[in-house]
Structure 1
C-alpha cells in the first residue's frame, strides 16, 4: 500500500513540475511577446524634451534669453558680422606670416635659408627605402649637392607622433612600423666630432624633425628650428637612446651605414631667427575661446554653421593641414587653400543634410508659443567641448594604438585588440542609450528601418569583388548622427563628438572611398604582386661567393618568363644601401664588394663586435628593370657575420 502511495505521490509531483514548466514557459514567452510588441509600438505617450536647465546656474541660463529679448535682430546681425570679421582678422594675422614669409637666419648682412620640413620623410633629404637612393646611395642626401653640410630646418608641431612610419621600413633584419623613425642619436654624446655638436649621429635616413624632437631640440607643441650637420664618410654603429617629450627610445642599428647627421648648437651670438615657431596651438586656443560667445548667445542654426566652418578651417590650416607648407614656395599655400576649398563645398552639403535630418532637432530653439526652454549652458558644457574633442582627432583618438580596422594592422600594433574592444563597447553603450531615447520619442520603427538599410548597404559594399570595405571615421559619423536626432543631453554629447570626427576626416583626408582596393591599403608596404625576389641560400667564406635561387612569382607561374625578362637585373642591398646591380645571375663575389668598402674596416676597428670579434652585415636581394628605378619587392635580410663568414638565412617574407 505504501509503495502505491509513493508511486502516486511521485507521479503527482512530476505532473505538477510539468505544469509549472508549461506555465513558466507560457509566461516567459508572453513577456517576450509583450516586450517586442511594446518596442515596436513605442510608448503610449511619446516624449522628447530639451535638456533641462541647470538650476544652480539659473542666472547664467537666463542671460541668453535677456540678450535675445533686449537686442533687436538688426543689431544682433551687426554684432555677429563685426565679431566674425574681428575673429577672422586675428587668426589671419597669426597664420599668414607663418605660411607666406620664408623662415631665415640673419647674421649681420648674411641671410641663410631655413628648410620647412614635414614631421616625416622628405625626398630631398632621403629619397626612400630599398633602392630609392641608387647605387651606393649616390642620390642621397640630395640636398648636399647644392648646400653645405650644415643645414637649418624648421619643424612643425606634433612631430612626437607625426614622425611615425605607417608603412613598413626595413632596418637590417628589423621591420619598423607604427613608431617614430629615428635611428641612433641621443643627447649623451660619446665622441664629439665638432665643438658645437649636441647629439650622437642619427642614421641619415632618419626623419630629421622626428630626430629633433627625440633629441629634445624641437617642441612637439610649438615646433621650432634646428641645425643639423651631415657626415658622409659613414658611421660604424647607431645605439638606441632615450627620447625627450615622452618619445620612446630610438631604433638601434649596430652596423655601418653610408652617412649620418647630428644636431649642432642652433644660435651664435649674432644670429637672429625668423618664423621658426608653429602657431597652430595659438590659433586653436583663440578659436575655442572666441567660439564660446557664439555657442552661448547665438541661435542654434548660427551656432551650427559658424562653429562647423571654423572647425573645418582650423583643421585644414592649423591643427592638421593636409599638405606641408614651404613658405619659400608661394604655390604651396595656394595649393593648401585649393585642397581646402575642394573639400569644403561637399562637406557643407553633407552638413546641410545632417542639420535638416538630425541636428536641427537638437540645437534649434522651440517655437515661440512653447513652454520649453533651451539650456544654453548644456549646449556650451556638453556639445561644444566634445565637438573640439572630435576636431582634434589627430591629438586624441589617433593616439590610440589603432591605425585601421584590418586584421594585419591590428596584429602589428601592441594593444590594438584591447583598444578596438573598448571602442566597440563604448559605441554599443552609446547606441543603446540613444536607441532608448529614440524609442521614447515614438520613432523607433522609422530608425530601425533606416539603420537596417544602412547595414544592408554596408554588407553589399563589403562583398564587392576586389574591394575592401573601409568605414572611415567621417563615414562612421555620417551613419551615427541621424540616430542622435533627439533633444536631450545625450544627443548634445553624441552629436558634438560625431560632428567633430566628420570634419576631422573630411578636412584632413577628404571624402575617401568607402570601398578601396587591397593595393591602396598597402600604402608603401610590400606589394607581393610583381616578380618575387631571389632567396639567398649560401655563402662560402673561402671563395667569398654568395649564392641564391629564384622562386616563382607570387601571382602564378604562367607569367614567370615574362616577369623575369622584364625584371632582368639583380639588386643587392648591403645594410639597406644598394651596393650591386647586374644582369640576372645566381651568385656573386661578396668578399670583393666588402673589401672595396672602407667603412667595413672602420667598423671592424671602431664598431660594436660580438664575442667572436665579428660585425653584423645585412643582405637583401631584389630584382630591377634595367635603366629604371622600378624594383620588385626585396627579401627579408640575411645576416652575415664578418669576417668569420657565418650566414643566417632570411626568414620568409618581403620588404
Structure 2
C-alpha cells in the first residue's frame, strides 16, 4: 500500500514489504556480488518484509535498525545503521565481509543524477538517507559498491517508500535499480512488552487464515442471499400487500385535496369502513415537514395526530394511522405492529391528549370522517424485523472483515451490495412493500458510481489495512452502518434538506446546518493537510475548484434551484479520501454508507430542481384573497342561519391568473366557484367554525389564508396575515 503522508525520512519506523511488481530485477546485481545461483533463486522466491526502527540515542545520533524476514520464515540480514557517515565493517551472511556507512544527505549533494530524480517534496525538504556499502576486497576477494538512497517517491500515482541503488561491479559494470516497498501500518492493538506480548491483530490474522479461501466465500454468498430472502419475505410478504401502510398513511388529505365536501376521501360503502393494517417501526420520528393547519392551529415537525383523547379514542380522519395507533398504545415504535381500524364517520370535538410519548392536538368542531382503533386483528407476522435484518447484516459484514477477509475489491463490492439492499428492504424502503423493479433500476447505475469510488479512493486505502483485520473492521464497519442508517441517526435533526427554504428563519435548522458545515470543514482541512504533505494539494484543488465553478454556473440557470442531495455530498467528499490513513478509512465507510442511503431511498434525484418540485405541501407564495367579513362588520345579533360571509372579488389585474375561489370550512372544502359569499345556514351555532380562503385557476387552488374563527358566542376573529 501507499505510505501515509506523516511517514517521512525523519522517522522511517514501520513495516515495509517489497513490491516485486514495482521493483526492478536485482538478479544481476546479486550475481556480481558473488551470490550463488541457488541463493539468488531462493531470494527471488520469497517476499522480503523489513521491520524498521528509527530513533536517536542520548547523543542525538540517528540510528536505523532493520530486521529482514522473508516469507516462509526466511531469515535475512539484521542491519544496524548509525547516520554519522562513519565506516563500520560487518560480516554479512549473504555478501560476506562488507564495509558500510550511512548519513542523512541533501538531494542536491548526491553524485549521480539518477539519485536526484523523482523524489517527493518531503524527501527533498527533510533530506534523503544514503546507505553506502562496499565489499571488503581484501577479505572477500570480490569488489563491488552499492550506493543506495532512501526516501519517498510517487510510483504509479501512489506515495511509496523507495530505495534507488547505483551499483558498480567488479569490472566497472554500472546498474541502476529501484526497489519499491508497500507500507504496512503498525497495529495499534498489538502491544509488545519485555515479558509478554498482547497481539490480538496477529492472533486473529493467524487463526482465521484457514477461512480466507475464496471458495468458502463463493459457497456462502448464495446462503446469504437465501437467508436474506426469508427475512424480506417475513417483513413484507407474509401478509396481504394492501394491509401494509407507511408512517404517513392517512384517510384524509390536506386542504382541498379530498374534493368538495371530502367526497374523494369518504368511504363509498359500508365494506370500506373497516381495515386491518400493519405499520413499520420508527414511525414516531416521521413528522410533518411543513406546517399543517388544524382549525386555527399550525402543527409542525410532529406526527399528525388529531383527537384520541375521548373515552372511545376517536381520531380525526387525517391523523397518521401508525402514529395514532402508537398514541393509543397498540404497539411500540421500535417494533411496529398491526391494528384494526373502524371508520366512524362524522364526529364533533376531538380531544387532544399525551400518551405513550406522543401528543395529539384537539379540534373543537365537526369533521366528516373519524376512526377508532383496536388491537384485535387477524393479521400475523406483525412485528417489524428491520432490527433483526440490521443485526444479520452487521454480523455478515463483521465476518467478511474479521474472518473471511476476501480481496479488498471483493470486500468493497460486498459492502456496496449489502448496504444498498438493506436500505431498499429495511431501513428506508420507498414504499411498503418496496418496489423491487425500481430498486433494480437504480442498482445498476449505482454500481457504476461505486466502481468510480473504488478507482479514485477505496483501492488506495482498503488494501492498506488488509493485515490489520480488527482495525480495518472497526474503522469501516463502525462508520459504514451509521452512514447507511443516516435517516435514523439524523431523525431528530430539525432539517432534512439543504435548501434555503427549509433553513430560512428556523433557528434549529440554522444550528444544524452550522454544525454540519463545521464537521465537513474539519474533514476537508484534515484531508487538505494530507494532500499538502503528499504533494497532491494543487491537483485536487484544481478539480474541486473546477467542479465548484460548474455548480456555480448551474445554480444560475433560470427557473431552477441547486439541490445538494446527501448522496451528491458523499460523491464530492469521497475523492479526497484516497490517502491511506485511518481517518480516510473512517470517512470512506461513512460516506459510502451515506451515498447508498441516498440513492436507495430516493434514487438519483437531480442536482437541479424547480421551485415546485421543492415545495412539497408548503405554501407556494401565491396571492391571497381577503375576507370582507371581519370583526367590525360581523353582527352577532343576527342568527347564524341567516348569516353569510363574503370576500373581495378578483381584481382585473389578477383575473389573468385566477378565475375562482375555494373555501375551507372546518378544514373541509365546502365551496368552489366564482361567487364572493357563502351562506352559514347549514352550520351548527353551538360549536366554533374555521374559515380559510384561496384563489383558484381552473379548479386548482393557490395558497389558503390563515383561519378566520367564528366562536359560538358570536365573536369573529380575523385571520392572521400570511398563508396557512
TM-score normalized with structure 1 length = 0.76
Tell me which residue corresponds to 2:295. Answer: 172
Residue 704 of structure 2 is aligned to residue 634 of structure 1: yes
Tell me which residue corresponds to 1:622. Answer: 694
- Following TM superposition, by how much is the alpha carbon of 1:421 offset from its aligned partner in structure 2, in angstroms? 1.4
Q: In structure 2, the residue corresponding to 1:256 is in which secondary structure?
A: strand
Residue 343 of structure 2 is aligned to residue 230 of structure 1: yes
Tell me which residue corresponds to 2:420. Answer: 312
Residue 188 of structure 2 is aligned to residue 54 of structure 1: yes
Tell me if structure 2 keeps the 8 A contact 1:400–1:419: yes
State how far apart, in whole Å, the 2-side matches of 1:496 and 1:573 are.
Answer: 50
- Following TM superposition, by how much is the alpha carbon of 1:580 offset from its aligned partner in structure 2, in angstroms? 3.1
Identify the match of residue 159 of structure 1 among 283, 296, 302. Answer: 283
Tell me if structure 2 keeps the 8 A contact 1:185–1:250: yes
- Following TM superposition, by how much is the alpha carbon of 1:240 offset from its aligned partner in structure 2, in angstroms? 2.6
- Following TM superposition, by how much is the alpha carbon of 1:320 offset from its aligned partner in structure 2, in angstroms? 0.7
Q: How does 1:340-351 map to 2 (within 5 A)?
A: 340-351=439-450
Identify the match of residue 550 of structure 1 among 630, 649, 652. Answer: 649
Tell me which residue corresponds to 2:216. Answer: 79
- Following TM superposition, by how much is the alpha carbon of 1:460 offset from its aligned partner in structure 2, in angstroms? 1.8
Identify the match of residue 361 of structure 1 among 460, 465, 470. Answer: 460
- Following TM superposition, by how much is the alpha carbon of 1:93 offset from its aligned partner in structure 2, in angstroms? 1.1
State how far apart, in whole Å, the 2-side matches of 1:408 and 1:527 are.
Answer: 11
Identify the match of residue 324 of structure 1 among 425, 432, 441. Answer: 432
1:377-411 alpha-carbon deviations (Å, 9 max, x no partner): 22111111110000001101243111222343224
- Following TM superposition, by how much is the alpha carbon of 1:632 offset from its aligned partner in structure 2, in angstroms? 3.2
Identify the match of residue 258 of structure 1 among 363, 368, 376. Answer: 368
Q: Which runs of 5+ in 2 are unaligned?
A: 1-119, 127-151, 153-158, 161-182, 192-197
Tell me if structure 2 keeps the 8 A contact 1:156–1:278: yes
Tell me which residue corresponds to 1:279. Answer: 385
State how far apart, in whole Å, the 2-side matches of 1:647 and 1:250 are.
Answer: 26
1:438-463 alpha-carbon deviations (Å, 9 max, x no partner): 22222122112122222222222222
Tell me if structure 1 keeps the 8 A contact 2:343–2:371: yes
Q: In structure 1, the residue corresponding to 2:618 is in which secondary structure?
A: coil
State how far apart, in whole Å, the 1-side matches of 2:714 and 2:121 are.
Answer: 79
Tell me if structure 2 keeps the 8 A contact 1:316–1:508: yes
Which structure has the greater CA radius of gyration? 2
Q: In structure 1, the residue corresponding to 2:592 is in which secondary structure?
A: helix
State how far apart, in whole Å, the 2-side matches of 1:412 and 1:242 are.
Answer: 28
Identify the match of residue 249 of structure 2 among 117, 121, 127. Answer: 121
Q: In structure 1, the residue corresponding to 2:539 is in which secondary structure?
A: helix
- Following TM superposition, by how much is the alpha carbon of 1:651 offset from its aligned partner in structure 2, in angstroms? 1.7
Tell me if structure 2 keeps the 8 A contact 1:213–1:220: yes
Q: In structure 1, the residue corresponding to 2:249 is in which secondary structure?
A: coil
Residue 650 of structure 2 is aligned to residue 513 of structure 1: no
Q: In structure 1, the residue corresponding to 2:243 is in which secondary structure?
A: strand
Say if 1:344 and 1:432 are closer, same or farther in 2 by CA, change over 3 A: same
State how far apart, in whole Å, the 2-side matches of 1:402 and 1:114 are.
Answer: 31
Tell me which residue corresponds to 1:563. Answer: 657
Tell me if structure 1 keeps the 8 A contact 2:338–2:375: no
Q: How does 1:574-589 map to 2 (within 5 A)?
A: 574-581=665-672, 583-589=673-679
State how far apart, in whole Å, the 2-side matches of 1:416 and 1:537 are.
Answer: 38
Q: In structure 2, the residue corresponding to 1:354 is in which secondary structure?
A: helix
Residue 652 of structure 2 is aligned to residue 652 of structure 1: no
Residue 311 of structure 2 is aligned to residue 191 of structure 1: yes
Q: In structure 2, the residue corresponding to 1:474 is in which secondary structure?
A: helix
Residue 526 of structure 2 is aligned to residue 440 of structure 1: no
Tell me if structure 2 keeps the 8 A contact 1:387–1:496: yes
Say if 1:421 and 1:625 are closer, same or farther in 2 by CA, change over 3 A: closer
The structure whose residues are more often helix, as a share, is: 1
- Following TM superposition, by how much is the alpha carbon of 1:137 offset from its aligned partner in structure 2, in angstroms? 2.4
Q: How does 1:440-519 map to 2 (within 5 A)?
A: 440-519=533-612
Identify the match of residue 202 of structure 1 among 315, 338, 342. Answer: 315
Tell me if structure 1 keeps the 8 A contact 2:189–2:200: no
Tell me if structure 1 keeps the 8 A contact 2:296–2:709: yes
Say if 1:441 and 1:547 are closer, same or farther in 2 by CA, change over 3 A: same
Tell me if structure 2 keeps the 8 A contact 1:204–1:260: yes
Say if 1:67 and 1:533 are closer, same or farther in 2 by CA, change over 3 A: farther
Tell me if structure 1 keeps the 8 A contact 2:330–2:375: no
1:546-573 alpha-carbon deviations (Å, 9 max, x no partner): 1211356xxxx75x33434xx33x3321
Tell me if structure 2 keeps the 8 A contact 1:401–1:414: no
Tell me which residue corresponds to 1:293. Answer: 399
Q: How does 1:87-106 map to 2 (within 5 A)?
A: 87-103=224-240
Residue 337 of structure 2 is aligned to residue 243 of structure 1: no
State how far apart, in whole Å, the 1-side matches of 2:529 and 2:394 are.
Answer: 32
TM-score normalized with structure 2 length = 0.69
The structure whose residues are more often strand, as a share, is: 2
State how far apart, in whole Å, the 1-side matches of 2:429 and 2:242 are.
Answer: 20
Tell me which residue corresponds to 2:436. Answer: 337
- Following TM superposition, by how much is the alpha carbon of 1:118 offset from its aligned partner in structure 2, in angstroms? 0.9
State how far apart, in whole Å, the 2-side matches of 1:70 and 1:223 are.
Answer: 42
State how far apart, in whole Å, the 1-side matches of 2:235 and 2:485 are.
Answer: 21
Tell me which residue corresponds to 2:617. Answer: 524
Say if 1:121 and 1:273 are closer, same or farther in 2 by CA, change over 3 A: closer
State how far apart, in whole Å, the 1-side matches of 2:565 and 2:200 are.
Answer: 39
Q: In structure 2, the residue corresponding to 1:452 is in which secondary structure?
A: helix
Say if 1:571 and 1:374 are closer, same or farther in 2 by CA, change over 3 A: same
Say if 1:434 and 1:51 are closer, same or farther in 2 by CA, change over 3 A: farther
- Following TM superposition, by how much is the alpha carbon of 1:579 offset from its aligned partner in structure 2, in angstroms? 2.3
Q: How does 1:26-37 map to 2 (within 5 A)?
A: none
